[in-house]
């Protein structure tokens, strides 16, 4: 059972990693969700102590599934939801500001912006230098 | 051990940390108060060290990381006393010198006085690190102090921030001593693997000769030799002369380079298990003597000449440690002190001459003996000590050196004589070139008694040490005894007879004088030879390695910043490869347990298979709606898994979350225009790109598999924290244990989790609420 769980975790994780490398931002988010699912499965199966559900009334000396690991998984699932919801809304926001969700388009836009910044910085440097020269000449 | 001495040691170690901290705060508050305070701290450290030595030493031992067997173990033995007094004594003198030198230096460089604020805590901090290093008994503790000295040295060499030369020199010193320090760490851990302890004394008792021990000791020796600027890792030291003169006088003649031979002396008992390494020390020492001497003979710059000379002098010490014996071990300790007094005095002299004339070369000055008579006399004593003239302390350092060399046979004796002649020649050239002959430099700008006084103290010490040599002898004997593990008596004294040491000394003076005359005639030729040597030296290899690493780093960086995908790939791929490499190289017999599959597990297996299939299907390119549904499929299958492994709470939450997420996902897909989604879905990646992605994903998955399998194979602990929580739940008036944990036992965690959700919800509102496109 151990190796079967490990294989399942690995497949989920690998599929997530594959999607993470896509150009489509929506698929990237799906990749993150898949990886998180793999990790949740990993945490919950780390208990290894199989037994009754940890809910009273319990018969004396019963084998009880590890409640601590379950509590942690529960927390992890909720946090995962918060993170992936935020990611999805960020994807939407990227669409509204760039009208594209293609990473190549976004990278090109970023480069254009950086080039514009550079041009501005160079222009400012020239202006500063000219001002300095004027000041010295006046002085 | 008396209690008073232990308290004294605790005070000394505390001062080593508290002093620099106090100086740092005061320097921030009023930079003009820092120099005097730093001098006072250094002087107090010296007094404490001296008092502790007179009290007979002490030991302190406290656990640091008990699970790793690392201890804060200190013992103030003879070796510790010698190096602690060396570091604090020379430190106090050079810091006192710097109180005048640094403000003037900053003024010459057109920098504000505030820029000096960093100098004082660094100098005292370096001294503190040396104190800790000198007393440390634990190899890991030694390593930490070792690196602390390297870091202080980096900032001190690069003190003149605006000068590129200083920056490059600082980086070179840090890389050479820092990378070799990694060798020290590896060697220390190998010693621990071989002996089960990090304590130097215990390790020496337990270590067995063999290839493993030899490699371990050799690695530690590499670090020590690099720190002492020995061939072929010597080239950082001449570059480090870009530092202000007090730094050169302190770190790069007396303290930091001494740390290297200190380490060799400290781990000396380990050499019994690695005689080959000890033999190699002799070769390295003589090579350093040769290279350092030739380059020193040919250099024209004061500080450079002195730096090359330092390489050669530490070569002497390494040879003495390599040959061993009573004269060798106690002599090495004696030599380090005598050399430190003489050499730091000469460095400080170079600083005064440069400040007074603005010149840095011997050929540009001369005849300064008349106007600067006090300086000339004081530095003359230091030079006499370096050249081993009686009645200075230097005479004995060479006597001990010759005594040791004689035990090694005729070849070592001949080489020792040649080295001593060169030392005599370049020392003579340094002193005569500055103070005698025609005056070439422009008139003297100024001199300050604060700058000359420390040199006078050092010169007097060199002279007194040659007459009243008892205290230094007993200190050196105690230091040698720590290395040897038995008493190392050395007999010192002036004898007017034809014993071999005396004959060798006489030959040194005559040969050295002849050599000095020859060198002063033809120094240009030797200088050219030295420059040619530098062209093909190990510095070339360093430069090539540095630019190669730089180019590799640039290439990786350029790939990484191209876009999000390459950024992710540069994280996933190395992480996966490292995990798999680790799996491959570590012994894992029985570490992986396939586990048993019972009939009752079949439903679980089936549903895991469904989840995996859905995950694979999600990754296959198709339209976004099916992808969203398949993703939900993965989530709901996992919900069933949670239900099957008796985790009903997790399963219930998972159903809720999966439903909410599916709705949100579909909602966002609905808000995006259909044309955009179609365009994204129609994207066709090249097959090469797909293959590359698949390889990265496969490596990542494999790494996840090995980690997961390895962790799950660990046998479950019989008693877990959960048992207590199961027992406590009824008293929390709950029936569901998971609920009790979330709401009660770990309620604070849950509050944090809810805050995360709250922040995410705020983010959602902010991001989705605004409809304005650009």
What is the pLDDT at residue B615?
94
For residues B700 and B113, the model is more confident at B700
Q: Is B556 on the interface with A (CB under 8 A)?
A: no
Computed over every residue of chain B, the mean pLDDT equals: 86
Extents of the domains making up chain A: 2-101, 103-139
pLDDT at B1 over 70: no
Mean pLDDT of A51-74: 82
What residues of chain A, 104 to 123, have a C-beta less than 8 Å from chain B? 104, 106-107
Angle, to 10 degrees, between the axis of helix B721-728 and the axis of helix A67-98? 100
Q: Of B533, B554, B579, which closes a domain?
A: B533
Residue B536 confidence (pLDDT): 66
pLDDT tens readout for residues B560-618: 887 778 888 888 999 999 999 988 888 777 778 777 788 888 889 999 999 999 999 99
Torsion of CA B329, B334, B338, B339, to 10 degrees: 10
- From A95, A117, A18, select the one nearest B700 (Cα to Cα): A18
What is the distance between the alpha carbons of residues B253 and B258, in angstroms, rounded to a whole number? 8
Pairing of the two strands B59-65 and B70-75: antiparallel
Q: Do B572 and A71 touch (CB under 8 A)?
A: no
- Which domain covers residue B757, as residue numbers? 720-774
SS3 string of B309-328? HHHHHHHHHHHHHHHCHHHH
Is any Cβ of chain A less than 8 angstroms from the Cβ of B747?
A: no
Residue A13, chain B, CB below 8 Å: the answer is yes
Inform me whether the pLDDT recorded for B189 exceeds 60.
yes
pLDDT at A10 over 90: yes
Average pLDDT for A69-87:
92
Contact B611 A12 (CB under 8 A): yes
Among B506, B533, B560, the domain boundary falls at: B533
What are the start-end ranges of the E strands in B135-260? none
Q: Is the model more confident about B124 or about B686?
A: B124
Task: Identify the residue whose tokens are 């290297």.
Answer: B260
Q: Are B221 and B264 in contact (CB under 8 A)?
A: yes
Which residues in chain B touch residue A34, judged by CB atoms under 8 angstroms apart? Answer: 615, 618-619, 631, 634
Closest residue, chain A, to B693 (C-alpha):
A18
B376 within some domain: yes
| Whether A72 contacts B750, CB under 8 Å | no
Mean pLDDT of A55-77: 84
Assigned domain for B772 exists: yes
Mutate to test the interface with B, among A71, A88, A92, A105 (most CBs of B within 10 A): A71
Whether residue B762 is contained in a domain is answered as yes
Closest by Cβ to A99, choosing from B568, B645, B773? B773
Contact state of B619 with A18 under an 8 Å Cβ cutoff: yes
Report yes or no on B563 lying in a domain: no
Task: Say how many domains are in chain B.
Answer: 2
- Other beta carbons within 10 angstroms of residue B464's beta carbon come to 16
* pLDDT confidence tier of residue B773, bands split at 50, 70 and 90: very low
Residue pair B76/B57 in contact (Cβ under 8 Å)? The answer is yes
Q: What are phi and psi of B487, to 5 degrees?
A: -60, 140
Q: Where are the alpha helices (DSSP H) in B672-742?
A: 674-682, 687-713, 721-728, 737-740
Distance from CA of B66 to the nearest CA of A (A): 28
Residue B150 lies in a domain: no
Specify if B51 maps to a domain: no
Higher pLDDT, B129 or B686: B129
What is this structure's pTM?
A: 0.76
d(CA A56, CA B716): 23
Chain A residues in contact with B700 (beta carbon < 8 A): 13-14, 17
Q: Given a cut of 70, is residue A4 above it in pLDDT?
A: yes
Give the number of other CB atoms < 10 A from CB of residue B380: 20
Asked, for residue B160, whether it belongs to a domain, the answer is no
Enter the tokens of residue B461.
């010490």
pLDDT tens per residue across span B524-564: 666 677 666 666 677 788 888 889 999 999 998 888 887 77
- Residue A39 sits at the chain B interface (C-beta within 8 Å): no
Q: Which residues pair with B276 in a beta bridge?
A: none
- Selected for mutation to probe chain A from B594, B680, B740 (highest A CB count within 10 Å) is B680
Q: Which CATH class is domain A2-101?
A: mainly alpha
Final residue before a domain boundary, out of B516, B533, B550: B533
Q: Is residue B159 part of a domain?
A: no
How many Å lie between the alpha carbon of A76 and the closest alpha carbon of chain B? 9
Task: Tell me the pLDDT tens digit for each residue of B268-320.
Answer: 888 888 888 888 999 999 999 988 888 888 888 888 888 889 999 999 899 98
What CA–CA distances, in Å, run from A132 to A68, A125, A136, B111?
68, 10, 6, 21
Asked whether the beta carbons of residue A24 and residue B760 sit closer than 8 angstroms, the reply is no
Residue B59 in contact with residue B76, Cβ under 8 Å?
yes
Contact A68 B700 (CB under 8 A): no
Tell me the CA distances in angstroms from B170 to B155, B242, B286, B341, one per residue in order.
7, 8, 27, 25
């Amino acid at each position: 059972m151990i190796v079967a769980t490990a294989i399942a975790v690995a497949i989920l994780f690998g599929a997530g990693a594959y999607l993470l490398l896509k150009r489509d931002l929506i698929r990237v988010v799906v990749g993150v969700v898949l990886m998180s699912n793999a990790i949740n499965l990993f945490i919950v199966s780390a208990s290894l102590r199989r037994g009754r559900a940890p809910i009273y009334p319990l018969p004396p000396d019963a084998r009880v599934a590890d409640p601590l690991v379950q509590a942690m998984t529960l927390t992890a699932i909720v946090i995962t939801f918060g993170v992936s919801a935020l990611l999805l809304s960020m994807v939407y926001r990227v669409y509204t500001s760039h009208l594209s969700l293609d990473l190549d388009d976004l990278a090109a836009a970023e480069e254009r912006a950086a080039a514009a910044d550079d041009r501005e910085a160079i222009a400012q440097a020239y202006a500063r230098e000219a001002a300095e020269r004027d000041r010295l000449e006046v002085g | 051990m008396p209690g008073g001495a232990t308290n004294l040691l605790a005070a000394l170690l505390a001062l080593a940390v508290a002093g620099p901290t106090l100086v740092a705060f005061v320097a921030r508050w009023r930079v003009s108060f820092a120099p005097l305070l730093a001098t006072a701290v250094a002087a107090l450290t010296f007094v404490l060290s001296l008092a502790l030595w007179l009290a007979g030493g002490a030991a302190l031992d406290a656990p640091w990381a008990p699970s790793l067997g690392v201890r804060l173990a200190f013992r103030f033995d003879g070796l510790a006393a010698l190096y602690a007094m060396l570091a604090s004594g020379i430190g106090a003198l050079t810091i006192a010198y710097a109180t005048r030198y640094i403000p003037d230096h900053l003024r010459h460089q057109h920098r504000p006085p505030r820029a000096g604020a960093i100098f004082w805590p660094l100098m005292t901090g370096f001294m503190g690190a040396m104190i800790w290093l000198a007393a440390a008994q634990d190899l890991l503790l030694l390593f930490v102090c070792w690196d602390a000295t390297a870091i202080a040295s980096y900032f001190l060499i690069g003190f003149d921030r605006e000068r590129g030369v200083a920056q490059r020199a600082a980086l070179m010193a840090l890389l050479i001593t820092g990378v070799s320090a990694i060798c020290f760490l590896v060697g220390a851990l190998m010693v621990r693997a071989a002996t089960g302890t990090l304590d130097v004394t215990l390790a020496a008792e337990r270590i067995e000769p063999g290839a493993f021990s030899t490699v371990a000791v050799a690695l530690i020796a590499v670090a020590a030799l690099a720190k002492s600027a020995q061939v072929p890792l010597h080239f950082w030291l001449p570059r480090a002369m870009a530092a202000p003169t007090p730094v050169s006088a302190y770190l790069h003649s007396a303290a930091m380079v001494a740390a290297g031979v200190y380490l060799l002396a400290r781990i000396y008992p380990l050499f019994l298990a690695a005689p080959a390494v000890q033999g190699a020390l002799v070769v390295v020492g003589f090579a350093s003597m040769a290279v350092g001497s030739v380059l020193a003979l040919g250099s024209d710059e004061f500080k450079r000449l002195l730096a090359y000379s330092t390489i050669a002098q530490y070569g002497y010490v390494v040879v003495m440690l390599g040959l061993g014996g009573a004269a060798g071990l106690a002599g090495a300790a004696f030599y380090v002190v005598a050399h430190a007094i003489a050499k730091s005095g000469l460095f400080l002299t170079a600083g005064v001459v440069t400040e007074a004339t603005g010149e840095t070369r011997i050929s540009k000055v001369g005849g300064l003996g008349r106007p600067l008579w006090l300086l000339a006399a004081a530095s003359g004593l230091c030079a006499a000590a370096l050249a081993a003239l009686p009645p200075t302390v230097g005479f004995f350092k060479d006597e001990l050196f010759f005594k040791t060399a004689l035990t090694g046979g005729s070849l070592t004796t001949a080489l020792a004589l040649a080295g001593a002649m060169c030392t005599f020649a370049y020392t003579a050239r340094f002193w005569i070139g500055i103070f005698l002959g025609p005056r070439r430099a422009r008139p003297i700008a100024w001199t300050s008694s604060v700058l000359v006084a420390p040199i006078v103290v050092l010169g007097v010490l060199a002279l007194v040490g040659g007459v009243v040599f008892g205290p230094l002898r007993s200190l050196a004997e105690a230091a040698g005894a720590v290395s040897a593990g038995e008493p190392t008596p050395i007999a010192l004294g002036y004898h007017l007879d034809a014993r071999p040491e005396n004959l060798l000394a006489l030959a040194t003076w005559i040969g050295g004088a002849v050599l000095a005359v020859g060198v002063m005639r033809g120094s240009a030729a030797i200088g050219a030879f030295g420059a040619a040597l530098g062209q093909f030296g190990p510095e070339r290899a360093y430069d090539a390695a540095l630019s190669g690493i730089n180019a590799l780093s640039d290439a990786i960086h350029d790939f990484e910043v191209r876009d999000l995908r390459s950024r992710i790939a540069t994280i996933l791929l190395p992480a996966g490869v490292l995990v798999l490499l680790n799996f491959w190289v570590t012994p894992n017999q029985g570490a992986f347990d396939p586990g048993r599959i019972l009939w009752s597990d079949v439903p679980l297996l089936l549903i895991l298979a469904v989840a995996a299939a859905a995950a694979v299907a999600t990754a296959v390119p198709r339209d976004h709606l099916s992808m969203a549904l398949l993703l939900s499929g993965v989530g709901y299958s996992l919900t069933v898994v949670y239900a099957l492994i008796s985790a009903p709470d997790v399963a219930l939450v998972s159903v809720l979350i999966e439903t909410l997420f599916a709705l949100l996902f579909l909602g966002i897909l609905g808000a995006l225009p259909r044309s955009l989604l179609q365009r994204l879905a129609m994207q066709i990646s090249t097959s090469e790109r797909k293959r590359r992605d698949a390889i990265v994903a496969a490596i990542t998955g494999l790494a996840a598999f090995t980690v997961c399998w390895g962790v799950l194979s660990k046998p479950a602990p019989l008693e877990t924290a959960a048992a207590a929580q199961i027992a406590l739940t009824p008293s929390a008036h709950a029936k569901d244990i998971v609920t009790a944990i979330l709401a009660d036992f770990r309620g604070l965690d849950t509050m944090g989790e809810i805050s995360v959700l709250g922040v995410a919800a705020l983010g959602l509102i902010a991001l989705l609420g605004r409809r304005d496109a650009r």
